């Protein structure tokens, strides 16, 4: 049993974010309804706040780095049940409850199961870490032995360095001479 209304922080325009009380969304057949425990603030969130939303309609809830506990499951959902802890990367996380499709959609692989005892302060970085792994392996295609320059050693810059450092153990051809240089933004 969930509440009927919830709080949500939604953008209504540039620099216009409002905390409102709106109905708790109903899960569709393939959805999980999740009680949000925490939601990260992404650089794209501040960009949407400062210069506007270009991939959705107002009012717009930009939170997409969130975790929580499954409160209800759609009729067609298999493998999930109320009480499961989950990480989600779809919009809507700046609210008490958020919906996520239980199966992959074009830009999300769907909910990720989280250990019950993983502290939220660490779990919240799942989505940014996935971006960093993607950056190292799929975009930069860093190979063992190559040098890497990371500009700006913030949360994601440091994760990129950590992921690239793993390549040291990646396989043959690595002479152990991997270097990661950090340039800290002034
Ligand atoms: Zn993000």
Which tokens sit at 183?
A: 């340039």
State how far the alpha carbon of 129 is from the alpha carbons of 2, 92, 157, 166, in Å: 31, 20, 10, 14
Asked if residue 104 and residue 138 are part of one domain, the reply reads no
Low-confidence ranges of the chain (pLDDT < 70): 1-2, 168-186
Treating both helix axes as pointing N-terminal to C-terminal, what angle do 126-134 and 155-166 enclose, rounded to 10 degrees?
A: 60
Is position 32 within any domain? yes
Is position 122 within any domain? no
Asked if residue 178 and residue 134 are part of one domain, the reply reads yes
In this prediction, residue 82 carries a pLDDT of 97
- Number of C-beta neighbours around residue 125 at 10 A: 16
Domain end among 96, 117, 138: 117
Task: Give the distance (Å) from ligand 1 centre to CA of residue 91.
Answer: 10
Which tokens sit at 44?
A: 């794209």
The pTM assigned to this predicted structure is: 0.83
Containing domain of residue 140, as a range? 127-183
Task: Give the distance (Å) from ligand 1 centre to CA of residue 90.
Answer: 10
* Total domains, the chain: 2
Task: Give the distance (Å) from ligand 1 centre to CA of residue 43.
Answer: 7
Task: Give the distance (Å) from ligand 1 centre to CA of residue 32.
Answer: 21
In this prediction, residue 173 carries a pLDDT of 42
Asked if residue 131 and residue 113 are part of one domain, the reply reads no
């Amino acid at each position: 049993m969930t509440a009927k209304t919830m709080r949500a922080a939604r953008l209504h325009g540039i620099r216009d974010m409002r905390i409102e009380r709106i109905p708790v969304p109903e899960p569709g057949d393939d959805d999980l309804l999740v009680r949000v425990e925490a939601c990260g603030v992404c650089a794209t969130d501040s960009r949407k706040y400062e210069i506007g939303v270009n991939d959705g309609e107002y009012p717009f809830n930009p939170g997409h780095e969130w975790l929580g506990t499954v409160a209800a499951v759609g009729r067609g959902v298999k493998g999930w049940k109320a009480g499961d802890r989950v990480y989600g990367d779809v919009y809507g996380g700046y609210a008490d409850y958020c919906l996520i499709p239980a199966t992959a959609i074009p830009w999300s692989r769907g909910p990720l199961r989280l250990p019950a005892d993983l502290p939220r302060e660490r779990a919240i970085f799942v989505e940014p870490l996935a971006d960093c792994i993607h950056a190292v392996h799929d975009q930069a295609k860093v190979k063992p032995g190559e040098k890497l320059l990371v500009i700006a050693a913030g949360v994601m810059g440091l994760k990129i360095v950590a992921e690239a450092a793993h390549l040291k153990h990646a396989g043959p051809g690595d002479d152990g001479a991997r270097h990661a240089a950090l340039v800290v933004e002034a």
